[in-house]
Amino acid sequence: MPSELAVGIHDLSFRTTSFVLHHSELARHNGTDVAKYHKGLGQRSMSVPAADEDIVTMAAAAALPLVRRHGPDRIRTVVLATESSVDQSKAAGIYVHSLLGLPPHIRVVEVKQACYGATAALQFAAGLVHQDPTQHVLVIASDVSRYDLDSPGEATQGAAAAAMLVSADPALLELSGPSGLYTADVMDFWRPNYRATALVDGKKSVTAYLDAVENTWRDYRQRGGLPLEEFRSVCYHQPYTRLAFKAHRALLEACGARADEETLHHALAPTTGYNEVVGNSYTASLYLALTAALENCRDLEGRTVGLFSYGSGSVAEFIAAQVRPGYRSHLRADEHQEAVNTRQAVDCETYRALHRHALPTDGRSYELPHQTRGPFRLAALRDHQRIYEAA
């Protein structure tokens, strides 16, 4: 049941990169049947960062519309969740704080636990708002998903940032009831400090993900959570969109419910529209699914949706949330469609060159080419420092 003080997501915005690689082009280059990507993975394209784009530039671009609509004065905390961090010490959110011109009397922290980090940040934010209902908390999930060229994971790459304003009396979504939690020590996906790309055990990762679905649901129900029939839809973290369908089928079967294709399509198809063209955005992925659900479902007002968050390694959480009355008037569908549709398509030669592009690690000065179409860019490296600027 909703708490006496309604706390949740008041506003939601996402942004992605300036470039896109279509899977038809990747298939042509690889000599692969494109159905392997379109049907097997459920992916049609993937966002590719320009040389001067990273998690900071995407995060600031995603958060900018929220700051413009609501102003900065009530923001007391910025939490940036990522597994693509640009510094081992300094929180990437401090760069975002500077680019957005936020007031100085704000705490800024970075949260990491693979793709789950943004949900941890959301729960942290909700706790702060419960403590002080007058404040807003800006939660940002921003990641670039990178695997080795010609590896099995290559087709699931992507990049995006999702920004959420968490408040009391939220306009979009109220977090309600208990959470279901699950942690297991499993090496299904990881990236050591000495690597720029992740290591993945694909079969183990799928098994760990599906185990986490069932275990978080079991914990959620044992703690008094709603039965499955009360949920209009469930938004899943989507490393690739077909995995969400596998997950929901497993959940339906565990609950003794119908798991036919029509049922799955009705529940999940509205959630996959952005992820199938952006690719895996790690911490942002679940919240792109939520954005798609809010924009595409016509019967959500007052309904309950589930959020399943998974981060390899692994930590997972199942959350129930109630969609607020009048939520549709606060959505940003046109902005999000523009962000996706205005990306410049690149061929595989250009994509591979961007993939191989690496910043110097010896501290020398380095000016980046101006490629981004976004409002912010990584302009240079000087004296071991990253220099960001408005584009």
Sheet of strand 376-382, all strands in order from the earlier edge strand to the far edge: 366-367, 376-382, 385-390
| Beta-bridge mates of residue 182 | 316
Query: CA angle 375-378-382, nearest 5°?
Result: 145
Query: What distance in Å separates the CA atoms of residue 354 and residue 366, rounded to the nearest whole number?
Result: 16
Catalytic residue among 115, 235, 276, 295: 115
Cβ 196 vs Cβ 90: under 8 Å: no
- Is 260 a known ligand-binding residue? no
Residue owning tokens 């990507």: 37
Closest C-alpha among 133, 119, 168 to residue 9:
168
- Is 73 a known ligand-binding residue? no
- Is 143 a known ligand-binding residue? no
Active site residue 38: no
Active site residue 255: no
Catalytic residue among 22, 23, 237, 355: 237
Closest C-alpha among 81, 78, 82 to residue 94:
78
Q: What is the CA radius of gyration of the chain?
A: 20
Helix (H), strand (E) at residue 181: strand 173-183
Active site residue 237: yes
Question: Tell me, what amino acid is at 289?
Answer: A
Query: What distance in Å separates the CA atoms of residue 229 and residue 1, rounded to the nearest whole number?
Result: 15
- Is 275 a known ligand-binding residue? no
The number of beta carbons lying within 10 Å of the beta carbon of residue 33 is 11
Catalytic residue among 53, 83, 276, 317: 83
| Beta-bridge mates of residue 110 | 80
Query: What distance in Å separates the CA atoms of residue 53 and residue 329, rounded to the nearest whole number?
Result: 31
Closest C-alpha among 233, 245, 183 to residue 208:
183
Q: Give binding residues for (3S)-3-hydroxy-3-methylglutaryl-CoA as ranges.
A: 33, 147, 246, 280
Q: State the catalytic residues.
A: 83, 115, 237
